Amino acid sequence: MLPDRPEPPLGRRLLSVVEARDEGAFRLLTLLDDEGPEPLPGQFYMVTRAPDWGGGLGRPYLPRALSFAGTTGMANGVSIEFLLDEVGPGTRELSRLSPEDECWVAGPFGRPFSRAGELTEGAAGAVLVGGGIGIAPLAPLRRDLIARGVPTRVLLGFREPAAAGGVDRLFGCEEVRVAYEAGSDSPARVTDLLSVVLAGDDAGRSAVYSCGPPGMLEAVRRMCADRGVTAELALESPMACGYGACFGCAVPRRDGGYLRLCIDGPVVRGDEIESAEAGEAGS
């Protein structure tokens, strides 16, 4: 077993949908997991509509990787929340599910976020930087940090108010700052908020955690590198299997070669990779 990771059940399992509702621009899907362990913030699952995908012309075909956005312990298992951004046929079908429907699920998989203390020697606090659907894995991370008494600031960014979703439900409002690139009276990027925070003197002693679009992640990565702040980033790449079988999820390592993002990630330290944009189409 990989150190400090909960052991997922063998193979895949059928889980039923217990709740499905819109959260702003996103869809919140809750499954009841009566077999699997509590996942750790940053981990993900491979999800397929059951009995199988409904792609009339053959797509979707592979399972889809989804970070969990929250969990609740229940008498009969763990209920797992997923936040969905409908970008194509797979997320579309998952967004159409309703209670009583079922999904094939494998996981939890992947390397979770590190504890603040492990990431930053004697960390004074944590800064969470999320963009778009990338806010999903930060929600359970925030709860975990707060439970551990780590002072935590949350900075979230969206293209525009209409593109936001899940903020109140997943984060509660206190301590959360949201930036909109457009459509608000004070347009800003989440990285603008971050630079202000990092300008503060305890910056060097805070642990930064981020997830969002590649461009944003790369900006966060550089900003932190420049200021000598350690940052962990939750990356994405096309994942066919999620458990190390296909070698498809390659992300270039800083020191040459590639990470298998599904097992060596999805969470990586900023200095482990060349760029958070590598692997973007045509890069």
Partner 1 sequence: MTAASLETELIGLPLSSPVINGSGTFDAIAAGRVFGERALSSENFPFSAYVSKTITEQPRAGNPPFRTWEAPAGMINSIGLPNPGLAHFVEDHLPVLRQLPVPLIVSVMAEDRDGFSRLVEGVTAAGGVSAFELNVSCPNVHSGLIVGESGKEVEGLLDRLGSFTDLPLIIKLTPNVARPEEIAEAAEAGGAAAVSLVNTLKAAALDPASDRPWLGAGSGGLSGPAIRPIAIQQVRSVSAAVSIPVIGMGGITDGESALDFIRAGASAVAVGTENFRDPLAGTMVRTELARALERRGIETIGELRGAAST
Ligand X SMILES: Cc1cc2nc3c(=O)[nH]c(=O)nc-3n(C[C@H](O)[C@H](O)[C@H](O)COP(=O)(O)O)c2cc1C
Ligand Y SMILES: Cc1cc2nc3c(=O)[nH]c(=O)nc-3n(C[C@H](O)[C@H](O)[C@H](O)COP(=O)(O)OP(=O)(O)OC[C@H]3O[C@@H](n4cnc5c(N)ncnc54)[C@H](O)[C@@H]3O)c2cc1C
The residue within the footprint of a second copy, chosen from 12, 49, 64, 260 (CB under 8 A), is 49
The 3-state secondary structure of 78-131 reads EEEEEEECCCCHHHHHHHCCCCCCEEEEEEEECECCCCHHHHCCCCCEEEEEEE
What is the maximum span of the chain, computed from C-alpha positions, in angstroms? Answer: 56
Q: How far is the CB of 57 from a second copy (least distance, A)?
A: 6
Which among ligand Y, ligand X, partner 1, none contacts residue 67 (Cβ within 5 to 8 A by kind)? Answer: ligand Y
Q: How far is the CB of 33 from partner 1 (least distance, A)?
A: 16
Which among ligand Y, ligand X, a second copy, none contacts residue 136 (Cβ within 5 to 8 A by kind)? Answer: ligand Y
Of 233-272, binders to ligand FES (CB under 6 A) are 239-242, 244-249, 260-262
DSSP letter, residue 54 = -
Other beta carbons within 10 angstroms of residue 66's beta carbon come to 26
Which among partner 1, ligand Y, ligand X, none contacts residue 27 (Cβ within 5 to 8 A by kind)? Answer: none
CA distance 252 to 244: 16
Query: Does 12 interact with a second copy (rule: CB under 8 A)?
Result: no
Site string for ligand Y, 135-164 (x = CB under 6 A): -x----------------------------
CA distance 47 to 237: 15
CA distance 270 to 78: 31
Q: How far is the CB of 43 from ligand X (least distance, A)?
A: 23
Contacts with ligand FES: how many residues (CB under 6 A)? 13
Which among ligand Y, a second copy, partner 1, none contacts residue 114 (Cβ within 5 to 8 A by kind)? Answer: none
DSSP strand E in the chain: where?
13-23, 26-33, 44-49, 64-67, 70-74, 77-84, 102-109, 125-131, 152-158, 176-180, 206-211, 231-234, 250-252, 258-260, 267-269
Query: Does 61 interact with ligand FES (rule: CB under 6 A)?
Result: no
Dihedral sign computed on CA atoms, order 167, 124, 265, 8: negative
The residue within the footprint of ligand Y, chosen from 4, 21, 52, 88 (CB under 6 A), is 88
Given the rule CB under 6 A, which residues bind ligand FES? 239-242, 244-249, 260-262
Given the rule CB under 8 A, which residues bind a second copy? 49, 51-58, 61
